[in-house]
A and B are shown apart, each in its own frame.
Chain A
Amino acid sequence: MTQHFNEMYDGGRVREPYARLEGWTNAMPAELRQMKQAEAEQLFRRIGITFAVYGEGGDPDRLIPFDMFPRVFTQKEWRKLEAGIKQRARALNAFLKDVYTKAEIVQAGKIPAKLVYQNEAFERAVMGFVPAMGIYSHIVGIDLVRTGPEDFFVLEDNCRTPSGVSYMLENREIMMRMFPKLFHENRIEPVDGYAEALRRTLASVAPAKCDKDPTIAILTPGHFNSAYYEHSFLADLMGVELVEGPDLFCEGGFVWMRTTEGPKKVDVIYRRIDDAFLDPLCFRPDSMLGVPGLMDCYRSGGVSICSAPGAGVADDKAVYTFVPEMIRFYLGEEPILQNVPTWQCAKPDDLKYVLANLPELVVKEVHGSGGYGMLVGPKSTKEQIEAFRRKIEDDPDNYIAQPTLALSTTPTFVNEGVAPRHVDLRPYCLVGEKIELVPGGLTRVALTEGSLVVNSSQGGGVKDTWVLAE
């Protein structure tokens, strides 16, 4: 049995960041806890923070389970994470600029051309075009797991439209509302600067043709999208318009919003829709979500799109393997955060190893997300493993494999009281004129005992993430 690092208890001893929380849970009788839990749910529902899943039946306004037990980092731990994340975000952006312009990293033989140029997320349409400040991915969500006091691993980079930041902010709001005393007793770094920082970031990448205060808009697929709450929440916090494709049109090389007072120019679009839907003239002609002519405006410098079309080529699970190499190549630095050792089934030797060791490995689809299309070897039956083996053999290029990490656990409220559950972490790094991230992130927790899958679509929950002030 693997020994999992418990973030609160080191043997019988409470680790320092959690020191003040032991008294708090001990003093909370079961009834009070249940009352608070119900109160939290009521608050989420009232505010309307729901994860709408339309077309799947059941409750269209599903709540993501919220665990009241916070996850805590010390200032020192956070500084290391912060430095590592910023470093990674810089390298990923340098990589994107390179592959769409000079392709030096490919010519230097550091990454196979095939992985980049035959990648589904690679956009030929933006080849040679450099967006404002040379930034492609403006909000980088980096998924991390922990296996020991000093050991953090990057699980995955999200360079397109990482979601969940509204939970980071709302979890905090609700915790502060329910447990004000906890916040008096603990010195917790605030996260509410996020919206302001996001706005600053977006404004800083306005296109050259924008000569006054840039107008920013968030482009959403619409209110049926599961992350719609987040889109409207961010628009609200930043005081910018939340638009859908049909609200916009292109004319004279610029993008305009349809307003009650006539057309208004939009300079920066924070899009929460995929590349394929951005512009029916350039990508999928059947899409009604985007704006006809948008890509022409983009390429002629009439509008900035965040993240840039084509940014997805950097967050592919196969490209992931090369991020440490990117850090060395572009920044001349050693990576601060480690990658999880990864086998690429596209390589014959790796494939052989993977097939021989399936019961010990986690296998993922290169383009998969949301915890779908993956095999967690140690948690699977023989039949499941054999079924997956056939899928890998049929299309090895589509899979990567990683060892099952001994993920850390944090105390979590469960029916019986408090019990350790596995967690991961997604901080959100903003890349504009400055690179910044607020002290915190979204901690996802696998609510089922022993489970390693934290995705909300797979029954995972969320919890508040604290960074203690010095």
Chain B
Amino acid sequence: MLSRTAENLFWIARYIERAETMARLLEVGARITMIPQAHGDGYRSEWESLLQASGTAKGFDAKYGDPVQRNIESYLFFDRDNPSSVISCIERARENARIVRTAISGQLWDVLNMAFQELRQLERRPRSELELTDLTEWVSRQATMVRGAIDSTLLHNDGYHFLNIGFALERADNTARLLDVKYYVLLPSLDFVGSELDSYQWHTLLRTLQSHRAFHFAYGGELSARKIAHFLILNPQSPRSLITATEKVTYHLECLARDYRKSGLPQMRARALLGELQKATVEEVFDEGLHEFLTRFIGEVSGLTSTVFETYLSGEAR
């Protein structure tokens, strides 16, 4: 497969996963504003923390300044100046797909192209007619259909693996960032740890990841930072946990190595990271410091991404 084609596929998946994360962030923000605030700043700091989480705070400040819900909705959903907005992500995913039409199935193209066409329709409707929940659910549905089309219509060849590597790396990164934000930004001060507000926010975080029900199935009713951290970092049953994402990356990299009859740096790094997560306990994570652990993990993921790029996507491989 052409290196450029593999790169386009990789980015289709990353953009779709990112669009979904953006939509979920918006949803969680809206939910937070529906509960009474315990501290003085009101909704403002919540929205700010969401912008931090999405890595779009700077761009937003420059363009809008005032973090009111409507502006944030516009910026995170419809704004083409924001490279991470839902519309930017979906347009780029579709553009990448258009470039590699030959490497994807008709169904996958259909889903991506229809998402793009529908989004353009949505964009033309008056904002007052659009319910935020409808928008975020729409994004979720599109992402689900993309994954469905990939799993049920694509040959399970290298292209399939590059798509899945894209999904898993983006997901690992997004979950880690969301967790990090919860710990350091969402909570206004340490006094709130263990408070009602604290548990509400953890719950909201689970909601963002559409994992609150799964969590209850896995752990029973009680929410605690320890359990949630375990669920989102170390539980291989949790679809969005760091360990699950890392397992997926490793699995698809191994498939590539098998198909190409050649293993290398990406496989080594992925295996090492997975091994670490498999051995780790929540106590160790908290001992290291959740923030420190997550920062290190995000760094590892980024290093792994670079080796994938150098080995397969840059076209420099010999």
Residue B279 at the chain A interface, CB threshold 8 Å: no
Residue A243 at the chain B interface, CB threshold 8 Å: yes
Which of B4, B109, B158, B312 lies at the interface centre, i.e. has the most chain A CB atoms within 10 A of its CB? B4
B101 near A48 with CB under 8 A, answer yes
The docked-state distance in angstroms from the alpha carbon of A235 to that of B2 is 13
User: Which residues of A have CB within 8 Å of B217?
Assistant: none
The docked-state distance in angstroms from the alpha carbon of A263 to that of B317 is 8
Within 8 A of B (CB), among A136-156: none
The docked-state distance in angstroms from the alpha carbon of A246 to that of B5 is 12
Chain B residue with minimal CB distance to A239?
A: B102
Given contacts A45-B117, A258-B2, A260-B312, contact A223 B98 (CB under 8 A): yes
Residue A433 at the chain B interface, CB threshold 8 Å: no
Chain B residue with minimal CB distance to A244?
A: B4
Residue B318 at the chain A interface, CB threshold 8 Å: yes
Residue A259 at the chain B interface, CB threshold 8 Å: yes
The docked-state distance in angstroms from the alpha carbon of A263 to that of B3 is 10
Residue A257 at the chain B interface, CB threshold 8 Å: yes
Residue A242 at the chain B interface, CB threshold 8 Å: yes
The docked-state distance in angstroms from the alpha carbon of A258 to that of B109 is 24
Number of interface residues of A (CB under 8 A): 23
- Number of A-B pairs whose CB atoms are under 8 Å? 62
Which of B95, B102, B109, B262 lies at the interface centre, i.e. has the most chain A CB atoms within 10 A of its CB? B102
A48 near B113 with CB under 8 A, answer yes
User: Which residues of B have CB within 8 Å of A223?
Assistant: 95, 98-99
- What band does the interface of chain B fall in when counting residues whose beta carbon is under 8 Å from A? 20 to 34
Given contacts A48-B101, A242-B102, contact A258 B4 (CB under 8 A): yes
A260 near B101 with CB under 8 A, answer no
Chain A 226-245, CB-CB to B under 8 Å as 1, else 0, gives 00110011011000011110
Residue B315 at the chain A interface, CB threshold 8 Å: yes
Residues of B near any A CB (own CB < 8 A): 1-6, 95, 98-99, 101-102, 109-110, 113-114, 117, 158, 162, 256, 260, 262, 312-313, 315-318
Given contacts A260-B313, A262-B318, contact A241 B2 (CB under 8 A): yes
Chain B residue with minimal CB distance to A236?
A: B102
Of the candidates B98, B102, B262, the one whose C-beta lies within 8 Å of that of A261 is B262
Given contacts A48-B98, A242-B102, contact A259 B318 (CB under 8 A): no
Of the candidates B99, B110, B113, B260, the one whose C-beta lies within 8 Å of that of A260 is B260
Given contacts A259-B2, A260-B3, contact A235 B102 (CB under 8 A): yes
Residue A334 at the chain B interface, CB threshold 8 Å: no
User: Which residues of B have CB within 8 Å of A212?
Assistant: none
User: Which residues of A have CB within 8 Å of B110?
Assistant: 46
Residue A333 at the chain B interface, CB threshold 8 Å: no
User: Which residues of A have CB within 8 Å of B317?
Assistant: 258, 260-262
A258 near B315 with CB under 8 A, answer yes
B318 near A263 with CB under 8 A, answer yes
7 A/B residue pairs, CB under 8 Å, sorted by A = A48-B101, A223-B98, A228-B98, A232-B102, A258-B3, A260-B3, A260-B158
The docked-state distance in angstroms from the alpha carbon of A257 to that of B313 is 13
User: Which residues of B have CB within 8 Å of A10?
Assistant: none
A243 near B2 with CB under 8 A, answer yes
Chain A residue with minimal CB distance to B159?
A: A260
Chain B residue with minimal CB distance to A232?
A: B101
The docked-state distance in angstroms from the alpha carbon of A247 to that of B313 is 11
A247 near B101 with CB under 8 A, answer no
B interface secondary structure, majority: helix
User: Which residues of A have CB within 8 Å of B4?
Assistant: 244, 246-247, 258
Chain A residue with minimal CB distance to B260?
A: A261
The docked-state distance in angstroms from the alpha carbon of A242 to that of B109 is 17
User: Which residues of B have CB within 8 Å of A258?
Assistant: 2-4, 315-317
The docked-state distance in angstroms from the alpha carbon of A244 to that of B100 is 12
Residues of A near any B CB (own CB < 8 A): 45-46, 48, 223, 228-229, 232-233, 235-236, 241-244, 246-247, 257-263
A236 near B101 with CB under 8 A, answer yes
Known contacts A232-B102, A242-B102, A259-B3; 9 additional CB pairs below 8 A are A46-B113, A46-B114, A228-B98, A232-B99, A232-B101, A236-B102, A247-B4, A259-B2, A260-B162
B109 near A48 with CB under 8 A, answer yes
Smallest beta-carbon distance B19→chain A, Å: 20
Chain B residue with minimal CB distance to A257?
A: B2
Smallest beta-carbon distance B135→chain A, Å: 23
Smallest beta-carbon distance A392→chain B, Å: 42
The docked-state distance in angstroms from the alpha carbon of A244 to that of B7 is 14
The docked-state distance in angstroms from the alpha carbon of A262 to that of B264 is 13
A260 near B102 with CB under 8 A, answer no
Smallest beta-carbon distance A243→chain B, Å: 6
Which of A45, A241, A246 lies at the interface centre, i.e. has the most chain B CB atoms within 10 A of its CB? A241
Smallest beta-carbon distance A230→chain B, Å: 11
Which of A241, A247, A259 lies at the interface centre, i.e. has the most chain B CB atoms within 10 A of its CB? A259
Chain B residue with minimal CB distance to A222?
A: B99
User: Which residues of A have CB within 8 Å of B256?
Assistant: 260
User: Which residues of B have CB within 8 Å of A261?
Assistant: 1, 260, 262, 317
User: Which residues of B have CB within 8 Å of A242?
Assistant: 102
Smallest beta-carbon distance B90→chain A, Å: 15
User: Which residues of A have CB within 8 Å of B95?
Assistant: 223
User: Which residues of A have CB within 8 Å of B2?
Assistant: 241, 243, 247, 257-260
Smallest beta-carbon distance B10→chain A, Å: 10
User: Which residues of A have CB within 8 Å of B162?
Assistant: 260
User: Which residues of B have CB within 8 Å of A235?
Assistant: 102
Chain A residue with minimal CB distance to B96?
A: A223
The docked-state distance in angstroms from the alpha carbon of A232 to that of B2 is 14
User: Which residues of A have CB within 8 Å of B260?
Assistant: 260-261
User: Which residues of A have CB within 8 Å of B98?
Assistant: 48, 223, 228, 232
Which of A46, A48, A229, A243 lies at the interface centre, i.e. has the most chain B CB atoms within 10 A of its CB? A48
User: Which residues of B have CB within 8 Å of A233?
Assistant: 101
Smallest beta-carbon distance A239→chain B, Å: 8
A260 near B6 with CB under 8 A, answer yes
User: Which residues of A have CB within 8 Å of B6?
Assistant: 260
The 3 closest A-B pairs by CB, nearest first: A258-B315, A236-B102, A260-B312
Which of A233, A258, A260 lies at the interface centre, i.e. has the most chain B CB atoms within 10 A of its CB? A260
The docked-state distance in angstroms from the alpha carbon of A427 to that of B315 is 38
Smallest beta-carbon distance A136→chain B, Å: 27
User: Which residues of A have CB within 8 Å of B316?
Assistant: 258
The docked-state distance in angstroms from the alpha carbon of A48 to that of B1 is 23
User: Which residues of B have CB within 8 Å of A244?
Assistant: 4
The docked-state distance in angstroms from the alpha carbon of A236 to that of B312 is 22
The docked-state distance in angstroms from the alpha carbon of A46 to that of B313 is 29
The docked-state distance in angstroms from the alpha carbon of A241 to that of B262 is 22
Smallest beta-carbon distance B156→chain A, Å: 15
User: Which residues of A have CB within 8 Å of B5?
Assistant: 241
User: Which residues of A have CB within 8 Å of B99?
Assistant: 223, 232
The docked-state distance in angstroms from the alpha carbon of A233 to that of B98 is 11
The docked-state distance in angstroms from the alpha carbon of A247 to that of B98 is 17
Smallest beta-carbon distance B194→chain A, Å: 49
Chain A residue with minimal CB distance to B117?
A: A45
The docked-state distance in angstroms from the alpha carbon of A261 to that of B6 is 11
Smallest beta-carbon distance A272→chain B, Å: 14
User: Which residues of A have CB within 8 Å of B101?
Assistant: 48, 229, 232-233, 236
